[in-house]
Amino acid sequence: MQNKNEKQSSPKQGHEQGRYQKQYGGGIQKQPLPPAFVSRMQGMLGAEFSSFMESYEKESAYGLRYNPLKTDREQFERSAGEFLLSGIPWADEGYECRRGLHPGKHVLHEAGAYYIQDPSAMSAVGALAPQQGERILDLCAAPGGKTTQIAGKLHGNGLLVSNEIVPARARILSQNVERFGIRNCVVCNEEPSMLAEYFPCFFHRILVDSPCSGEGMFRKDENARAEWSEERVIRCAERQLSILECADRMLIPGGMLVYATCTFAPMEDEGVIVRFLRNHPEYELAELPFYEGMEHGRPEWAASYGGVPDFDMSSEAAGMHLEHCRRLFPHKLNGEGHFVAGLYKRKEKKSVQGSIRYADDSSYPQVRQTKKKDSLALWEQFARGSLLNVPEGVVVTFGSQLYLVPPDMRDFGNLKVERAGLHLGEHKKERFEPAHALARALCDKDVVQSRALSFVEAERYIRGGTIMADPGLRGWVLMTYEGYALGWGKASGGQIKNHYPKGLRIMG
């Protein structure tokens, strides 16, 4: 049945849709744009439709963010200037990136100096505005772009819990947390409903970068085009609403919930926001920062295309302020399609945090106390001999592995945890072997011994090669390139044995 707010397409409009589908639907891509998607976008955009379709003939946007945990703007521009174009207004650490130079294959990328990310995707964390010392949840976090951006804002102060429901993607998320040298992040692999049971009224800010139909990625991702359907949009909207319900249970009164998608579909954007606000009058939409090229949220699209045909444009729209949301279109700026909404939870809402037990060194009865004492003693021996600045926090053991758990983290209990914080290392027989993650969280000023590598040496190191050293150098050495930590080596007899993880080595 036709939505009462939709206008029926004329024969002329249908002809134009076919023309644009033929001209722009394939372009340099093999997979055409879905006809139903094209039809809806023409109805939504009207006079802007041709410009929108022409954007599919252009190359997708390309950007990167530098890592504030490892560098500052001045140092980064000196070391990575060949990759950089202009800055990105809504991301302090972001740059548009030159094409054809392959920054993902550079030593600096392996060192965690930057994260390659679509410029539009950087807007959600700007809306979240994390503050140092807060407890933050990134609920749908893989592969880690927004988690690493949040961590840069926290700068090690506070707690970041990053969750991904798919195990393989949770491992990728964990690897990016490690590469960035993040100390205060716990990576979970859980259902949002399980987290909601575990963290009642716990977080100051929550980011829901929700799984969606992916329409905003059509320019760069043929799979997103092939998998799209109108039924998928409907399913995504229902799942998105259920995820927001879980997020609400974990947010403190006075907290901020940011909802983001990479789709144009109003059913997944304004429509989800309308339905959530109807169920939760204690929330209000925050007016997010507005930058050139951005668009306001569209209340009329909620009524016409958002799956809420009874939406009252005269009173309900005025009260909800959907115009406070932000839309990013590829024909308006150098980025892919995104939608961002900020939901503020009023403080008058009565909510009880519940009984929270925080992690400490007695939280893990499965580890024998004698072995735990041995492991801690070996860690302390290593720290005294190799580190000038010892990371602070609660050291816990998982079998032979030692982790530094962020101070605000509650007891893990039965949570499925991919990374419990900063991995310090492993108790192997009667010795301690420092973890690669620990190296990534340090710099040359934190260690007794470091070895600065040339570009050629750095490339040899990340391929597993041996590095020459001063004959007097012995023991654990932090390997660095232009001030960025790459990993560990162990010096003996004028050589440094390579301890860069075999699974991360670049072959060829």
Encode pLDDT of 142-186 as tens digits: 999 999 999 999 999 999 999 999 999 999 999 999 999 999 999
pLDDT band at residue 269 under the 50/70/90 scheme = very high
pLDDT number for residue 364: 38
Residue ranges of the alpha helices (H) in 399-476?
Answer: 436-440, 455-462
pLDDT tens per residue across span 85-119:
999 999 999 999 988 888 999 999 999 999 999 99
Instruction: Compute the average pLDDT of residues 239-249.
Output: 98
pLDDT of 31 reads: 84
Angle at alpha carbon of residue 61, lines to 292 and 103, rounded to 5°: 125
Rounded CA-CA distance 376/55 in Å is 57
What are the phi and psi torsion angles at 286 (to 5°)?
Answer: -85, 145
Place of tokens 């926290």: 154
Strand duo 326-328 + 294-296: pairing: antiparallel
Judged by DSSP in three states, 352 sits in coil
* Pick from 492, 489, 439: nearest CA to 465: 489
Let me know: does 146 contact 138? Beta carbons within 8 Å.
Answer: yes
**Looking at the annotation, which residues are catalytic?**
262
Residue 349 has pLDDT above 90, yes or no: no
Q: How distant, in Å, are the alpha carbons of 47, 89, 334, 337 from that of 294?
A: 17, 11, 11, 10
Q: Is residue 359 very low, low, confident or very high in pLDDT (cuts 50, 70, 90)?
A: low
Query: In the predicted model, is pLDDT for residue 268 greater than 50?
Result: yes
User: What's the average model confidence in pLDDT over 265-280?
Assistant: 97
Average pLDDT value for the chain: 90
pTM for the whole thing? Answer: 0.91
DSSP β-ladder status, 475-481 and 495-498: unpaired
Q: What is the mean pLDDT of residues 352-369?
A: 44
| Spatial distance between the Cα atoms of 199 and 188, rounded to a whole number of angstroms | 12
Beta bridge partners of 325: none
Separation between Cα atoms, residue 33 and residue 436, nearest integer Å: 44
Q: What is the per-residue pLDDT across 111-127, written as a single tens digit (0 to 9) for each?
A: 999 999 999 999 999 99
pLDDT of residue 335 exceeding 90, the answer is yes
- The per-residue pLDDT for range 407-465, each reduced to its tens digit, is 889 888 899 999 999 999 999 988 999 999 999 999 999 999 999 999 999 999 999 99
Which residues, 6 or more positions from 458, have their beta carbon under 8 angstroms from its beta carbon? 107, 479, 481, 486
Is residue 245 packed enough to be buried (19+ CB in 10 Å), middle (13-18) or exposed (0-12)? middle
Asked whether 137 and 168 are in contact (CB, 8 A), the reply is: no
CA atoms within 13 Å, Cβ hemisphere of 21: 18
